Amino acid sequence: MDLVDELQSRIVCGDGAMGTRLLESGVSIDRCLEELCLSEPERIRRVHEEYIAAGARVIETNTFGANAVRLRCCGMEERVGEINRAAVRVARDAAKGHDVYVAGAVGPLGITADQARAQGIDRANCFREQINALLDGGVDLIFFETFTGFEEIEIALLAKKELSDVPEICAVACGVDGRLSCGMSLAEAFGRFKKMGARIVGLNCMNAPQEMVAVLRDLPDEYLFAVYPTAGQPRQKDGRLLYDVTPELFAASMGDIVASGARLLGGCCGTTPNHIAALAAAIGKLPP
């Protein structure tokens, strides 16, 4: 059974934030977080293990920005394969002995289409390089997350389809108006994902749980949804980012999110193992 099959019959708990968790643990904001899979693998493994202990059954590799464009900012664009394979290895080690899926996290490149053209960057090749390394490492699925425009995630999905038929999650980030930055509605985006063969669609980042409920309200229930809200909007205090949605409030909204059609639930920025533990407990009380 793969994740898609399991989601047909039950709600599954995902993990929480990686980046904000690492910063909270003392990692400098100047560090390349993905490189930590090589230099401090035990630190990354501990985060995975915390989420698994909290009840997560899907964990994401620490590879959100592990593509050549983003890694170029820290002089590591030649280490895409090395970093992604190491990230899968760390996640696999943490998942050993547990009934857990390892998802290869793939985020946007961080540049616009015009910037890519001006710099001679082949965006499809960038995604293909990262995804191929994740697949080589042995992920169970690919998790596209936090894409704010349709064109880029379309390029990424097509690149993945060339390489493998493992399941994928296509998760976008939008405002409370339910539209991507390009103006496309979620309903249209999800419909196009389905025509392209995407197995799971979803939302992550930008919105807290109750905002996600509002965004999901008018969407058709014909899809397998993954929903990963934030723990609220960040605010700065004493040089730190703080998030105000407590684990209890985070979990309390999940019944409404499930009622909107969500099958895979996790957390994005600001969520911690405590949020995921509360979420897993709430899921356990829901009917199958």
Which residue is listed with tokens 């697949």?
135
Strand partners, 104: 142
Distance CA 253, CA 209 (A): 6
- Residue 12 pLDDT > 80, yes or no? yes
> What distances in angstroms separate CA 259 from CA 39, 45, 56, 103, 255, one per listed residue?
42, 33, 20, 25, 6
Indicate the SS3 state at residue 165. coil
In the predicted model, what is the mean pLDDT of residues 108-116?
97
pLDDT tens digits for range 151-181: 999 999 999 999 999 999 999 999 999 999 9
* Pair 18, 33: CB distance under 8 Å: yes
CA distances for 224 relative to 11, 202, 258, angstroms: 10, 8, 11
Over residues 216-245, the mean pLDDT reads 87
Phi and psi at residue 146, to the nearest 5°: 65, 30
Question: What pLDDT is attached to residue 59?
Answer: 98
User: Pairing relation of β-strands 240-242 and 235-237?
Assistant: antiparallel
Tokens 């009622």: give the residue.
259
pLDDT digits (tens, 9 = 90+) for 125-156: 999 999 999 999 999 999 999 999 999 999 99
Q: What is the pLDDT of residues 27-63, one digit of tens each?
A: 998 999 999 999 999 999 999 999 999 999 999 999 9
Per DSSP, helices labelled H in 30-67 are 36-39, 41-54
pLDDT band at 239 (very low <50, low <70, confident <90, very high): low
Mean pLDDT of 88-99: 98
Q: In whole angstroms, give the CA distance from residue 48 to residue 133.
A: 20
What are the structural domain ranges in the chain? 3-284
Find all residues with CB under 8 Å of 88, minimum gap 6, and list them: 61, 102, 104, 134, 137, 138, 139
CA max distance for the chain? 53
pLDDT class of 288 with cuts at 50, 70, 90: low
Q: Which fold has domain 3-284?
A: TIM Barrel (3.20.20)
